[in-house]
Amino acid sequence: MNNIRVNINDALGAVSQSAIEAMASEVRSSVNTLVEGTGAGNDFLGWVRLPENTPDTLLDDIQATAERLRSECEVVVVVGIGGSYLGAKAVIEALGNPFDVYNAACKPQIVFAGHNIGEDYLYDLQHYLDGKKFGIIVISKSGTTTEPAIAFRLLKAQLEAAVGRETAARRIVAITDAKRGALRTLANEEGYTTYVIEDNVGGRFSVLTPVGLLPIAVAGHDIKALVDGARERQKAFLSGADKSAEVYATTRNALYRSGKKIEILVNYNPRLHYFNEWWKQLYGESEGKDHKGIYPAAVDFSTDLHSMGQWIQDGERTIFETVISVENADHEVRIPSDDANLDGLNFLAGKRVDEVNKMAELGTRLAHVDGGVPNILISIDSLNERTLGGLIYFFEAACGISGYMLGVNPFNQPGVEAYKRNMFALLAKPGYEEETRAIRERIR
Ligand code: PA5
């Protein structure tokens, strides 16, 4: 099995082993609530058995659609926001070569839209796509989210103007609810290829559904290995053989209760930047409720040691770190010797760059622990589809357990509606007349 090792030794200064052991029955009961589906939000637990329940025929079908887009497009625009984009972005960045922006080997290029309302972003994108063969994967579970709806309206019009409605319809794939929502209606009318996001899988838990799998397959990565990695982890979690999610969930809750209100997810591999972003959404939207919840923050080290390092070492002691450590780099790069040695680096000559990185990691961990920042260490062997599938399932399972330990419903997100109500009122959306009057009065 792909290994995920959780080491909490460096968290034990802030919370004792006995305090963690005292939470054993609490964590057990949260696991049972999750696995038996007896808690709040239990109509959104489809992800718990999703890897096992995903038929290989669906993976083959997604792969075939991906091959079609790959053969017909130079660029594929993935339109979505939140859970409808972050998982795909995280995996594609984690597995890709950041410098292969566009070349024959990585055709097509994957770009994202609908995750902001930046006019200049959309202008730049439209100009970039001008004259290129492009396709669109539009993803919205509700089918009504404003940001992707605006981007899709613009890009659909551009594509139809460039290649005609019929060819455009062949190059557009919609991933949405089986029956409801404006996107479903549109997709049915236009005859797009579609995939369904099941009702019982929430957006931020949907990376292993077509939401994540189709863009990842279009990017050329092995979705079967990704799902297999998650299947292994699901099996080990549900059989009780693997306790790593429980250990992580318990330790972060113990730290929170001891006054550590902010968790910083740390990576030492720039490919994991968007994995951190995916994790931030998963935990932030699942746990930040009822005026409770660990604040999920994230940094890329060693880059951010030169910006946030000072704060973490020396600022307010309300933080703890969770480090994702990738034990093996994919490639070997050795530091050369230099006769003049003007930069004084010959003491590193012959060493691998990853060896220096690992010493930065260890040195930082020791310094931060000494500075009063407890540390949870999560290690994986290497970055590939299988380990990422396992890691995704691990963090999802731990999130469900942790949310129940915190005493919230981890599977809703009532708080994200507040800004939408105001925005629609300000834009005078039909149906919001009363809110429009009230908000105009308020800002007068
Ligand atoms: O996790 C969630 O449910 C949200 O982040 C959604 O994914 C996000 O709001 C996008 O919603 P939709 O897919 O309905 O457009």
Question: What pLDDT is stored for residue 215 in this prediction?
Answer: 98
Any ligand 1 atom below 6 A from CB of 286: no
Nearest Cα to 281, choosing from 265, 269, 266, 305?
265
Q: How far is the CA of 115 from the centre of ligand 1 (A)?
A: 10
Closest ligand 1 atom, CA of 83? 7
Q: What is the pLDDT of residues 332-386, one digit of tens each?
A: 999 999 999 999 999 999 999 999 999 999 999 999 999 999 999 999 999 999 9
Question: What pLDDT is stored for residue 2 in this prediction?
Answer: 64
Q: What is the pLDDT of residues 1-55, one digit of tens each?
A: 668 999 999 999 999 999 999 999 999 999 999 999 999 999 999 999 999 999 9
Kindly report the CATH number assigned to the domain that includes residue 328: 3.40.50.10490
Residue 106 confidence (pLDDT) above 80: no
In the listed set 221, 250, 265, which residue is the last one of a domain according to the structure? 221
Query: How many structural domains are present in the chain?
Result: 2
Residues 184 and 75 in one domain: yes
- 351: containing domain: 4-38+240-406
Indicate the helix (H) or strand (E) that contains 88. Answer: helix 86-95
Any ligand 1 atom below 6 A from CB of 140: yes
Residues ≥6 apart with Cβ < 8 Å to 379: 3, 4, 5, 7, 325, 326, 327
Using most ligand atoms within 8 A of CB, pick from 89, 112, 145 the residue to mutate for ligand 1. 145
Residues 137 and 160 in one domain: yes
Q: What is the pLDDT of residues 317-336, one digit of tens each?
A: 999 999 999 999 999 999 99
Q: Is the residue at 434 inside a domain?
A: no
Residues 13 and 70 in one domain: no
Residues 362 and 271 in one domain: yes
Q: How far is the CA of 205 from the centre of ligand 1 (A)?
A: 10
- CB-based burial, 1-31: b 16+ in 10 Å, e otherwise: ebebebebebbbebbeeebbeebeeebeebb
Q: How far is the CA of 102 from the centre of ligand 1 (A)?
A: 29
Any ligand 1 atom below 6 A from CB of 82: yes
Residue 102 confidence (pLDDT) above 80: no
Any ligand 1 atom below 6 A from CB of 413: yes
Q: How far is the CA of 329 from the centre of ligand 1 (A)?
A: 33
Q: Is the residue at 427 inside a domain?
A: no
Q: How far is the CA of 366 from the centre of ligand 1 (A)?
A: 38
Question: What pLDDT is stored for residue 392 in this prediction?
Answer: 98
Indicate the residue type of 354: D
Q: Is the residue at 208 inside a domain?
A: yes
Q: What is the pLDDT of residues 173-229, one digit of tens each?
A: 999 999 999 999 999 999 999 999 999 999 999 999 999 999 999 999 999 999 999
Residues 295 and 166 in one domain: no
Q: Is the residue at 432 inside a domain?
A: no
Residues 192 and 69 in one domain: yes
Residue 303 confidence (pLDDT) above 90: yes
Residues 356 and 250 in one domain: yes
Burial of 346 (0-12, 13-18, 19+ CB in 10 A): middle
Q: Is the residue at 73 inside a domain?
A: yes
Q: What is the pLDDT of residues 238-249, one digit of tens each?
A: 999 999 999 999
Q: In whole angstroms, how far apart are CA 64 and each of 53, 112, 166, 243, 320?
A: 20, 21, 20, 37, 44
Three-state secondary structure call for residue 431: coil
Any ligand 1 atom below 6 A from CB of 322: no
Residues 11 and 74 in one domain: no
Q: Is the residue at 248 inside a domain?
A: yes
Phi/psi of residue 289, nearest 5 degrees = -145, 160
Residues 272 and 368 in one domain: yes
Residues above pLDDT 70, as percent of the chain: 98
Nearest Cα to 220, choosing from 90, 59, 95, 348?
95
Catalytic residue IDs: 285, 306, 420
**Strands 109-113 and 172-176, how do they pair?**
unpaired
Q: In whole angstroms, how far apart are CA 30 and each of 121, 132, 213, 349?
A: 43, 51, 29, 51
Residue 104 confidence (pLDDT) above 80: no
Phi/psi of residue 262, nearest 5 degrees = -125, 130
Any ligand 1 atom below 6 A from CB of 83: yes
Q: Is the residue at 425 inside a domain?
A: no
Provide the mean pLDDT of the chain: 96
Question: What pLDDT is stored for residue 1 in this prediction?
Answer: 65
Q: Is the residue at 310 inside a domain?
A: yes
Residues 341 and 397 in one domain: yes
Residues 377 and 402 in one domain: yes
What distance in Å separates the CA atoms of residue 235 and residue 443, rounded to the nearest whole number?
54
Residues 293 and 390 in one domain: yes
